[in-house]
Amino acid sequence: MTDAPDRPPLRVTISDVAAAAGVSRATATRALKGEGRFAEQTRARILDISERLGYVPNTMAAELAAGRTGTVGLLLRDASNPAYGLLFSCLQDEANRCGLDLVTVTIGADSGGTKQVTALQRLLGMRVAGLIVATGGVTNAQLEPFADQVPIIRAGRDATGDRVHSVAYDEQSHGALLAAHVHSLGHRRVAVLATDPAASFPEHVRVTAMREHLESAGVEVTPIAVGAGPAEGVDAALALASAGRVTAVMCPSDYRQLAVLRAARDAGMRVPADFSVTGCDGILPGADLLGLTTVRVPVEAVARETVAAMQHLLDTDSDSDDLVRRSYAGPLVAGTTAAVLL
């Protein structure tokens, strides 16, 4: 034996605590969680001992034995994007305001679909009580099979089918809001960065709404097809603008708006003097200083409602038939990157 005899065992179990206190494991359990009946004095002693021993209850064993889990899982997208980072943060805040324990598993943005499934499995394997999905990387079809084992809520984007709940951003309104603004500024020839639905579905929805709104208002729209790369289509947009073919460039995200702004600066073009630009998100710290014209996505509201809905679903004994399907639109932020057409 090379170990010091008086150092507490590497892993203190409830048996150790019970033994040291001269009671049975059951009593220790009850005292530790303050449930059931027990003598206040025994309890104090047990609490004291457990603390002295550095006892940390083994969650796995506890939940396995109890047959239920006190945590809800959060499947998250890459948090380097401030919009997701904020959503994450708000979700977490809401959750521990409501007394829900959240465990998060993320999948890097670059990973293929397989990784996302792995992450899903990991959460389900933990037998979480509920699941919040805040990533587009996992499809509704992949979620569907588990929807009757555990309540699943998609946060930030719509779900399809009738088993997976959702509390989403109203991206359609966002697109329309932006389009209305640009139109009201007098622009009649507009370029739109049209994201491929496979690259980013939310962006696609925004763009579609923009185009529809614009076109129905008689604006001439020039779509520029783009994929996931944030700088894609920027050159094309700039070319159109410098040729005078369009007076505004609408981007489906603030990241792309930044890219356009950057390119414009490098090309010596002035915004909004030479052409107007819009984006979408409004989360970037410093967006105000840049004067970004955008829509401020209602992260807080979505986070709040997601957690509230989860709590409701968890409380409701059986899966009642109310499918949660809400959506929220954020306000337009009229910045200085889009101006009245002279």
Partner DNA sequence: CTGAAAGCGCTAACAG
Partner DNA sequence: CTGTTAGCGCTTTCAG
Binding site for DNA (CB under 7 A): 11, 13-15, 22-27, 29-33, 35-40, 42-43, 55, 57-58, 61-62, 64-67
Buried b (16+ CB within 10 A) or exposed e, 142-158: ebbebbeebbbbbbbbb
Which residue number, 123 or 332, has a Cβ lying nearer to DNA?
A: 123
Stretch that binds a copy of itself, among 22-30, 76-84, 201-209, 232-240 (CB under 8 A): 76-84
Can residue 80 be called a binding residue for a copy of itself (CB under 8 A)? yes
Residue number, 179 or 299, with CB nearest to a copy of itself: 299
What is each CA distance from 71 to 14, 127, 151, 224, in whole angstroms? 22, 9, 12, 44
DSSP string, 242-254: HTTS-SEEE-SSH
Question: From a copy of itself, DNA, none, which one binds at residue 23 (CB under 5 to 8 Å depending on kind)?
Answer: DNA
Tokens (6 digits) for 57: 């209850």
Using the rule CB under 8 A, is 90 a contact of a copy of itself?
A: yes
Helices (H), the chain: 14-21, 25-33, 40-53, 59-66, 82-97, 113-125, 140-143, 171-184, 201-216, 234-242, 254-266, 287-290, 299-315
Task: Choose between 25 and 325: whose C-beta lies nearer to DNA.
Answer: 25
| 105 touches, from DNA, a copy of itself, none (C-beta below 5 to 8 Å by class) | a copy of itself
**5 lies in the site for a copy of itself, by CB under 8 A:** no
Closer CB to a copy of itself, 10 or 273, in the complex? 10
The pairing of strands 152-156 and 276-278 is unpaired
Residue whose CB is less far from a copy of itself, 92 or 173: 92
* Residue 295, token pair as written in the block: 């829509």
Measured from the Cβ of residue 324, the count of other Cβ atoms closer than 10 Å reads 19
CA 81/CA 165 separation, integer angstroms: 24
Binding residues for a copy of itself (CB under 8 A): 7, 10-11, 54, 56-64, 71, 78-82, 84-86, 88-90, 92-93, 96, 101-111, 115, 121-122, 124-127, 145-146, 148-149, 255, 258, 261-262, 265, 284-290
